Amino acid sequence: MRAVIQRVKYASVTIDGEVKAKIGQGFMILFGAGQGDTREDAQLLAKKTAGMRIFRDENDKMNLALSDIGGSVLVVSQFTLYADCRRGNRPSFTNAAPPAEANELYEYFVHLLRDEYGIVDVQTGEFGADMKVELLNNGPVTIILDSDELKRARRD
């Protein structure tokens, strides 16, 4: 499971010309589920995401989490995070989870952020829709999380 977390001043998702979701300061998260990913992967990613201290404190150090600043989250499903570009010029997406499984894990990840980690304002795109995403990356700060790497780190 992969998440690309961007620290943003604002972010929004537009579908068919209508704004579906909009947040102020917080995280814009592109979320992708891969073949074999489980709820345990979603739990690892949600916990790490909720605790991520990448907002500036009074000493200008990245030391504050979402909860410290009252930040919001916008989560957008993105199967293309599992693009395999090793051969040719057309990416393969066979490493992405099948849509039904990916959607279930996406919804579970969002549930965990809201209900387990207490992030009050968690908004979403629409799974499988053609979305237009707009954001202002603040920093810029972009963090890539991979549940396989997080599991390896726990074993080391």
Domain boundaries, the chain: 2-84+91-148
pLDDT for the residue 62: 97
Catalytic residue among 27, 55, 79, 109: 79
78 flagged as catalytic: yes
Q: Domain 2-84+91-148 is in which class?
A: alpha beta
pLDDT for the residue 154: 75
pLDDT digits (tens, 9 = 90+) for 79-135: 999 999 999 999 999 999 999 999 999 999 999 999 999 999 999 999 999 999 999
Give the torsion sign (CA, 83, 88, 94, 100): positive
80 flagged as catalytic: yes
55 flagged as catalytic: no
Length of the chain: 156
pTM across the whole model:
0.94
Catalytic residue among 6, 78, 123, 124: 78
